[in-house]
Structure 1
Amino acid sequence: MARPARFTPDGILDAAALVVAQRWRDATVADVATQLGTPPNSVYYRFATKDALFGSLWLRSVRRFHVGLLEALAGSDPHEAAVAAAVHVPAFCRAHRLDAIAMTLYRQQDLAHTVSGQLAEDVAHVNDRVRDAMVELSRRRYGRTDEDTLALVAVACQENGYGLVRRYLRADLDMPPWLDQAVAAASAGILAIGDTPPLRAG
């Protein structure tokens, strides 16, 4: 009878998340093995390369983040849904700091070309459902889904929040409670721009 594996993939990724919080992009497979108290080969048995390991961590963290984001975007009132999606960014990052830091390890397009096989496929398509939800929200909020309006919705729902939380993630700073209000106010203001089209001048 085969001996059961000592470490599950999720257990290894949990250790990787702790190391990333300490060393960010300088984290290595050896660091993760040390965290687990095992030789590096035990990690390589599950994850063939450094990018496969930390890319899998990135993917898991993004998927966890998307759960609440998709729920917010599906809200019945499109304006409130957009603001709720924006506020989900600091709320998630505060409650799940390790996942939030892990999401800053890679850019999606870079990682998709760095890893291979099913992981590359999963990374390439991880944002598909969110993209579709943004298109639907734009249609419900503005009655249109042109390029500029979709970009505005993305800034209001996600990029605004990302910009405001980023300075806190890898610093030894707690996110202040007012940050959620700041993100909500900025989101509402950005959304208002779309009420007076055309967005492009000229």
Structure 2
Amino acid sequence: MARPPRFDTDQILDAAVRLAASAGPSGVTVSAVAQAIGAPSGSMYHRFAGRTALLAEVWLRTVERFQAGYFDALHSDPDPRRAARAAARHVVSWSRAHPQEASLLLHGAGEFGRADWSEEHVRRADFGHERVYASLGTLAASLGVTGRQGRERIALALVDLPLSVVRRHLRAGEPLPPHAEDLAEECTAALLYTA
């Protein structure tokens, strides 16, 4: 009877997240992750074809977990303005609850080697991206916001502003202030009020 694997995929990816948060994407190597969890490097290749696959999986798992909560928030209320405020709060509250993962996402997929990802990894990334922008488009339509400028306003209100509340503190290695969710929500509400 074969022994169960000593390290599961989530343990490996958790270690990769910690390395990315402390040293950036360049710190995530197969040998560094193996060393961080006390696994032989060879065992890593049973789950990941190489560093590129490891980087893709750590990025995708993180962004997909974030997006799951973001979509829930966007669909949390039939009133589009309240749903938008909930989504803005989610960006901050998720980042507060998962500071290492949030720090990782500040780098962007390009720094995690997206140009070399497999077709499946690229498809997963594109699917998530398209879902976000489709949801923002639906929200814009429900608010009566049209045209390129209107779409820019929605993206600014629900993506860029909440991220800016988070980014400065994460990059400085500081905890988010207690009022950060309120600030993100207020900024989003103010921008949407004029939409």
- TM-score, normalised relative to structure 1: 0.86
Q: After superposition, where does 1:71-90 map in structure 2 within 5 Å?
A: 71-74=72-75, 75-90=77-92
Rounded Cα–Cα distance in structure 2 between residues aligned with 1:34 and 1:170: 26
Aligned to 1:171: 172
8 A contact 2:7–2:39 mirrored in 1: no
Deviates more, 1:73-82 or 1:145-154: 145-154
Identical counterparts, % of pairs: 34
State how far apart, in whole Å, the 1-side matches of 2:126 and 2:112 are.
10
Gaps of 5+ in 2: none
Structure 2 distance, partners of 1:110, 1:92, is 21
- Consecutive unaligned residues in structure 1, runs of 5 or more: 195-202
Match of 1:20 in 2: 20
- Paired AA for residue 13 in structure 2: L
Whole-Å separation in 2 of the counterparts to 1:47 and 1:119: 12
Determine whether 1:6 maps to 2:6: yes
Please report how far the alpha carbon of residue 145 of structure 1 lies from its aligned counterpart in structure 2 after TM superposition: 3.6
Q: Which deviates the most, 104-113 or 22-31?
A: 104-113
Give the RMSD, CA atoms, in angstroms: 2.0
- Give the one of 94, 116, 126 matched to 2:128: 126
- Residue 109 of structure 1 and its aligned partner are, at CA, apart by 10
Structure 1 counterpart of 2:7, one-letter code: F
**What is the match of residue 37 of structure 2?**
36
Counterpart Cα distance in 1 of 2:11 and 2:176: 27
Distance 2:62 2:146 in 1: 28
Corresponding residue for residue 94 of structure 2: 92
- Number of aligned pairs? 193
Instruction: Measure how far apart 1:76 and its partner are.
Output: 0.9
Match status 1:159 vs 2:169: no
Measure, in 2, the Cα distance between the counterparts of 1:141 and 1:108.
33
Shift of residue 80 of structure 1?
Answer: 1.1
Q: Distance in 1 between matches of 2:44 and 2:171?
A: 25
SS in 1 for 2:24: helix
Change (3 A) 1:137 1:21: same
Give the TM-score normalised by the residue count of structure 2: 0.89
How far the C-alpha of 1:153 sits from its partner, in A, is: 0.7
